Structures are given as C-alpha cells and as structure tokens.
A and B are shown apart, each in its own frame.
Chain A
Amino acid sequence: MKNKLILFWVIIALTIGAITAIAVKPTKLGLDLVGGSRLVLEANPTNAQVTPDMMSSLQFAIENRVNKLGVSETVVQRSGDKRLVVEIPDVSDLEQAKKFIGETAELDFRRPVIKNGVENWEPTGLTGKDLSKANLSTNSQNGQWVVDLEFNGAGTKKFADLTKQMVGQQMAIFFNGELQSAPVIREPITGGRAQISGGDSGFAYAEAKEMVDLLNAGALPVPAKIVEENTVGPTLGADSIAKSKIAGAIGLGFVMLFMALYYRAPGLIADMALLIYGVLLFALFKLIPVTLTLAGIAGFILSIGMAVDANILIFERTKEELKAGRTLFTAINSGFDRAFTSIFDSNMTTIITCIILYCLGTSIVKGFALTLAIGVMVSMFSAITITKNFMHLIFGTGNLKHPEWFGIKKSEIGEGFQAVETSREKAKFGILD
C-alpha cells in the first residue's frame, strides 16, 4: 500500500508539472490551424525565359531548403507562371528564414587568369552541382570554423584534373559571387575532398552553418527574390476552427459521461485518468515541441480512442473476474494483467506503423505519426499505471460489497465466463482456491 501511495503522489506531481508547462510554454500550431507567414518568391532569370521545368526545379530546391529550416508543416506552392508561394508556420526568426530561402547559394571554383595585365578569376566549370555533401567542422590548427566539401564521382574526377593542372597556382572558391578563400594548390588532390576556410578572419559559426545548410539543400536553379511578405490566417478558415474546438469539447464530454454511466465507479476513475492523460500529452507536445496541425490532431483523437479502449478492455476483464466471484483486489489485478497483452500488442503495432510512417512519410503523414506515437506511449502509462493505482487506492482489498458500483447485478456473480488459471497465474494474481 505504501508503494501505491508513493506512486499516487508521483502522478499528482507529474500532473502539476505538466499543467505548469502548459501554462508557461507556447503552443506551436500549424498553418492550417493558426496561419503563419506567407512569402511570395519570384523567379527572375538573368538571361532566359522562365519555363515550367525551371519552376519545378526551383520549387524542389525551395522545398528542400524549407525542410532544412527544421520548421515542420510548410507549404510551397506554384502561383502563376513565375511565382512560388511559401507558407511557414510562426518561426522564431523570420528574417533569417527569409535570407535562407532567398539566397541563390551558388558555389563555384575559379582559376586566376591575366587579361590585359589585370588579374582576374575565370570559372573552371566545377560548381556546387558537383558536390555530394558539405559538412561543418573546425580547423585542427587554429580552431576556426570551416566548411568541408565532399565531391560526387564526377566532381572528384574534375577536381583531381583541375588540381593536377593548377599545381603552384591559386584556386578561388566563390559563394554567391563572393570570394571566400583562394588557397594555393601544392599537389594534385584526388581524394575528392576540399575545405573552405573563410580567409584570414575565418567564419563565424552562424555563417559557416548557413553555408553548409545551403550547400546541402542545393543551389537555386534560377535566381529568385522575395516580392511579397504577409502574415496569413489559417488555411482551414478561422470560422471552422472556432466551431470545431467547441465540438471537440462536447464530444469529449459525452465520452466521459458514457464511461461514467456504463462502467460506474471505474468509469469515473478512467475519466480522471483521461483528463490527466490529456494534460500530460499536451504538455509533452509543448515541451518537445510538436507543431500541431489537423493531421496531428487526428493522431491525437485516435490516441484518445486507444486510451479509452485500454480502460474499456481492463474494465470488461475486471467485470468478468468479479462475476466469476473473485475478490476485488484479485479481480482488479487479473483484469489488468489479462488485458495487458492485447493492449501491448495493439499499441506496439501502432507504434511500429508510426515509426515507419515518420521516417519515410512526408509532412502530413509525419505529423500524424508523431502525435499518434507519443499519444499511444503516454496512454499506456495513463490507462494502465494511473487507472490501476487509483482503483487500488479507492477500492482497497476485500470482497465486492457494492456490485452496482461496477455495473454488475448481484445475481450475475458466479455465472458467466470462468477463466481457468494455471498454477503460476494463480500465484501471480493471489488466487486462493
């Protein structure tokens, strides 16, 4: 009994902690629910006409970059012939996001030429397209931030050929038309690796990090600039969302009423567990943080359904045990134990599905999988640990004095399905017959 009291206070402490977190932390809601920022990007190629193909690759590049921003649930959409609409949920630093999205990110390697006595840089044909990956690291000698480059197959060959020709010469690295560094080639480099050091002053961390992210996301196939910038309301319509909030509350109210009416005392306990579940889950969403969209809320609703289901499973089993004439303590324990395998297996399947969907899926699918997985894990705790703890504390041990509390008639006890336990299970459940 002492352990149970300790657990009870742990649950209460967790709940209070969760409520505090909910009060303090902001909720991250997706574009569909609260809106966000809307940037309109216009392609303006220097010499060519804008073709649909060009726009497709621009859209792909922008999508890539937006994903690198780490903001989930963004929308990149074509608008007209040469515009892209980028919608991002509220981000902490919109200015940085804008810079990140609008930057062309062209990397190219140039060689020195002397024309009419003036030294100049001439493109070598080796560009950011020949990279397979960029990494952030530090120079082992002076500890400055540097950008490590890895070339792909073709790039490695081009780079090896170039460095072979250019031994003793300087090779300049330009990013967005700006000279970054121009090291002297001492020997041919065949390993397919290079480094940008940022010159004498070196890179600031943020500068190097941004360059790495941009290089990995790929250059924009066409220069594009942000022509419009606004904040927008929810895509699902503010009017609809206001109504759905009320509807959700009504629905949950009915569920709790149903549980209390059908399962009586245990139903009320389950309702309490459900409220705690909601609080814990919501706090987790805020702490992680998860950007909630309607898809995420669908996952949330499904996880509530599964949490209620776990309680229903347990109570149905407890009822069966009580009808078989077991004492309260035994009935509650074996009700939980017998329901456990089905709760475990069904939830494990859900979690496996969610992990696969999260790793491979795209935005909507990801949001759904994430909230559902977190929800299911928390529901195992609430439906099993919390409900069981409350039931033991409230009903204690002894015989069933008030069968109506469990929605059972006195006459039903002793009939019904009789489970046959193995001696091991009898010992586990404390059955003495």
Chain B
Amino acid sequence: MKIKLDIVKYRFLCLGISAIFLLPGIISMIYSSVVYPTHTPLKVGIDYTGGTTLQYGVKEDVTNDKLSAVRQDLVKNGIENPYLQIINVNSKQSTDLKAILSVRTKFIDEGSKDVDKITGIVNQVFQAPSLVQVSSVGPTLGSELFKNSMIALSLALVGIIAYLTFRFQFDYALAAILGLVHDTIFVMGVFSLLGLFYDVQIDALFVTALLTVIGFSVHDTIVVFDRVRENLKYYSKKMSFGEIMNASINQTLARSINTSLTTLITLLALYFFGGVTTKDFVLAMILGIAVGTYSSIFFCSTLVEIWEDKKKNAKSAAAA
C-alpha cells in the first residue's frame, strides 16, 4: 500500500482544514473572555483563583481506595475538580485522630449547603469524621508566576526562531513558530470549549502540557524541514520546490506517523488506565501531539511552499 499525499495541489484545502480546526476554539476563547467573571479565555481552576479547603479529622488509616471513593462521590455530586490530600497527624500532637483528609475545591461559604454535601460524602466513606477546619486558600499559581512563565516562553520562541534561521532560513523558522502557535491555539480552544460545555477547568499542569505540545510541535516540524533541506541539495535543479516539498513529506510520512503513534500509545495508556487527577493533563497532550503531527505535515509545509512560490513569482516577474 502506498499513500501519496499531494499537499501542493491541495494547499488551500490544508489551510482551510486548519481554519476549521481552530475557529470554534478561537470563538469560544473570545466568548469566554467576555463572559467569565475572571475574563480568561479558559475556565481556570483553583490553582489560579484560590478556593476553600475543608479539613476532616479521621480516626482510621486513609487508604487509596477510600481516597478514590471520596473523589468519585464528590465529582458525582457536582463538586468539580476536588484536590484530596492526606495530612498526617504529628505524633507530638495529643489527639486521637489518625490523619486529616484535606479537600480543596472552589470557593464555598462556611455553613453553606456545599459544606454539608461534602461532609455527607466524607461521612459515608469514613467513620465519624470531624470537620476540623474550613479556610479559604490563595492561588498556588498566582498571576505574577503566570506572567513570568509567559515571558520565559516568549523568549524561548525567539531562541527557536534564531536557531532555525541560522540552520535553515527565516521563513522556515517562521513557519515552525506559526505551527506551534497553531497547535497551542487548537489545544487551548478545545479546552475552552470543554470549559463552556463540560465545566472542565484548567490547572497548573495545563501549562506543562502546553509546553510539551510546543516541544513536540517544533521537533516534528524540523524533521520534515530537514528532509526538504536535504532534497534541495540533491534535486533543486531537476525538480520544482513544490515537487521537492511533496517528495519530502511523503518520505517522512511513515516516520511522522510512527513517532506520534508511539507517543500517543503511552499517553492513551495513561489516559485510560491512569489516575483521575492527571486525566485532563494527558488529554491536552494527546490533542497537542495529534494536531502537532497534522500541522507539521499539512500546515507548516504548506506555508513554506506558498512563500517560496511567491518569492519565485516575484523573481520571475522582476526578470521579465
């Protein structure tokens, strides 16, 4: 079986498909920025906003099964994204409590129905837990921290552009960067939509997932560009740039698919068999790697091809 892709012929179709991928997410992000009280394009979780911590003293060991049971019941009863943590009771403290179960979730008022609901759930799993403390907690990922990370990321992008311009050409570098922007916007867009329709909130891990997507996206694009660079060396006299681009993409196609496949296998295993608390994190990476493969084949290459085509036309127009 031989698959032959002709991205040069269908270049505007490729860009069109990208637009279809991205548009709903972009619309959702704009809508969310206006509508959400936080004015953020995505629904942000308590890592960014802060929330309330309820601490229950329990007189028995907190096993993983019990932790899972509490988590499941909480989610079932509409307490989204709870963070459950065990606080061990210091032996120096004089108390008959074995441990403290800390439940961190969105802001809730003391004495409200939500508190009763959570207490009820903890009560079903543990014997006679006592609510020892309700307190509000601040964000772990403050806006300052977030801003710093974004500045670091922007400078990293400048670094990528500089290196790729040095090793390839500026338009390849620009295409690679646009490719990673494409992939990042897609993942953010999907999570914005998930936030609107399924109340999915992003946590501090989401930033890490995006970093992973960016890393993969650039890596994947460079491999395709490297083949173009090599083929240009051998065939630039015999073939047009479009033909070389097509040949390069088809030569690297098996590799592109296999690489994503191996990474996706690991991530899918983590998604289906792994812990609940990292599900969204893994989902973001799965989406990013899938779209990253798509963009390096169909989006970045198309951009370079169109630019090179324009340059050639401009040149021949100048010659004539």
Determine whether B246 belongs to the interface, using a CB cutoff of 8 Å to chain A.
no
Task: Give Cα A75–Cα B145 distance, bound, in whole angstroms.
Answer: 12
User: Does residue B164 face the partner (Cβ distance < 8 Å to A)?
Assistant: yes
**Nearest-neighbor residue (CB-CB) of B273 within chain A:** A247
- Once the chains bind, are B259 and A309 in contact (CB under 8 Å)? yes
> What's the Cα separation between A251 and B226 when bound, in Å?
29
A361 within 8 A of B: yes
Residues of A297-325 contacting chain B, CB below 8 A = 298-299, 301-302, 304-306, 308-309, 312-313, 316, 320
Question: Bound complex: CA of A345 vs CA of B228, how far in Å?
Answer: 13
Number of interface residues of B (CB under 8 A): 83
Given contacts A35-B85, A233-B85, A417-B251, contact A356 B68 (CB under 8 A): no
Known: A259-B262, A298-B285, A305-B262. A361 touches B152 (CB 8 A): yes
Task: Find out whether the CB atom of A240 lies under 8 angstroms from the CB atom of B277.
Answer: yes
Q: How large is the interface on A (under 10, 10 to 19, 20 to 34, 35 or more residues)?
A: 35 or more
Q: B85 to A353, Cβ gap below 8 A? A: no
Given contacts A247-B270, A306-B219, contact A239 B65 (CB under 8 A): yes
Measured CA separation A236–B104 after assembly (Å): 11
Q: Are B218 and A353 within 8 A (Cβ)?
A: yes
Smallest distance from the beta carbon of B254 to chain A beta carbons, Å? 6
Partner of B266, one of A236, A251, A342, A359: A251
B191 → A minimal CB distance (Å): 16
- Bits for A218-258, please: 1 = Cβ < 8 Å to B, else 0: 00000000000111111111111111101110111011001
Distance between A330 CB and nearest chain B CB, rounded to angstroms: 18
Is B153 in contact with A357, judged by CB distance below 8 angstroms? yes
Interface-side segment among A79-87, A131-139, A189-197, A394-402? A79-87
A231 to chain B, nearest CB (A): 5
Q: Is A262 an interface residue (CB 8 A)?
A: yes
Q: Complex formed: what's the CA distance from A75 to B215 in Å? A: 26
List chain A residues, Cβ under 8 A from B227: 342
User: If A237-B67, A251-B268, A362-B145 touch, does A243 touch B137 (CB 8 Å cutoff)?
Assistant: no
B275 touches A240 (CB 8 A): yes
Tell me whether A298 and B140 are in contact (CB under 8 A).
Answer: no
State how many angstroms separate the Cβ of A327 from the closest Cβ of chain B. 21
Q: Which residue of A lies closest to B153 (CB)?
A: A357
A236 to B282, CA, bound (A): 14
Inter-chain contact B138/A78, CB cutoff 8 Å: yes
Judging by beta carbons under 8 Å apart, are A346 and B88 in contact? no
* A230-B85 in contact given A308-B259, A350-B215, A360-B148 (Cβ < 8 Å): no
Check A239/B262 contact, CB under 8 A, given A230-B90, A360-B151, A364-B204. no
* Interface residue? A140 (CB, 8 A): no
Convert A348-366 into 0s and 1s, putting 1 for each residue whose CB lies closer than 8 angstroms to a CB of B.
1110110111011111110
- Contact yes or no, A239 B67, CB < 8 A: yes
Q: Is the CB of A304 within 8 A of B278?
A: no
Q: Is the CB of B149 within 8 A of A230?
A: no
- B319 cross-chain contacts in A, Cβ below 8 A: none
Is the Cβ of A356 less than 8 Å from the Cβ of B155?
yes
Task: Name the B residues within 8 Å of A316 (CB-CB).
Answer: 252, 254-255, 258
Indicate whether A368 reaches chain B with its CB closer than 8 angstroms: yes
A301 to B84, CA, bound (A): 25
- A272 contacts partner chain B, Cβ-Cβ < 8 Å: no
Contact: B266 with A294, CB < 8 Å? Answer: no
- Report if A75-B87 is in contact (Cβ < 8 Å); known contacts: A239-B71, A298-B212: no
Are A255 and B262 in contact, CB atoms less than 8 angstroms apart? yes
**Assuming A338-B230, A349-B160, is B275 touching A78 (CB within 8 A)?**
no
Whether B241 sits at the interface, judged by CB under 8 Å, is: no
Complex alpha-carbon distance, A298 and B208, angstroms: 7
| Known A38-B87, A349-B218, A368-B211; contact A357-B156, beta-carbon cutoff 8 A | yes
Cα–Cα distance between A342 and B167 once the two chains are bound (Å) = 11
Q: Is A295 an interface residue (CB 8 A)?
A: yes
Q: How far is the CB of A298 from chain B (nearest CB, A)?
A: 5
**Which residue of B50, B87, B204, B216 is within 8 Å of A233 (Cβ)?**
B87
Across the two chains, which residue of chain A brings its CB closest to B271?
A: A247
Residues of B within 8 A of A309 (CB): 219, 223, 255, 259, 262
Contact A79 B138 (CB under 8 A): yes
Q: Would you give 7 A-B contacts (Cβ < 8 Å), ordered by A? A: A231-B87, A237-B67, A239-B65, A240-B278, A316-B255, A350-B215, A364-B208
Hey, which bits of chain A sit against chain B, CB under 8 A? 35, 38, 59, 75, 77-80, 83, 85, 229-244, 246-248, 250-252, 254-255, 258-259, 262, 294-295, 298-299, 301-302, 304-306, 308-309, 312-313, 316, 320, 338, 341-342, 345-350, 352-353, 355-357, 359-365, 368, 372, 417, 419-420
Query: Across chains A and B, which 3 residue pairs bring their CB atoms closest together, nearest first?
Result: A240-B275, A78-B138, A251-B269
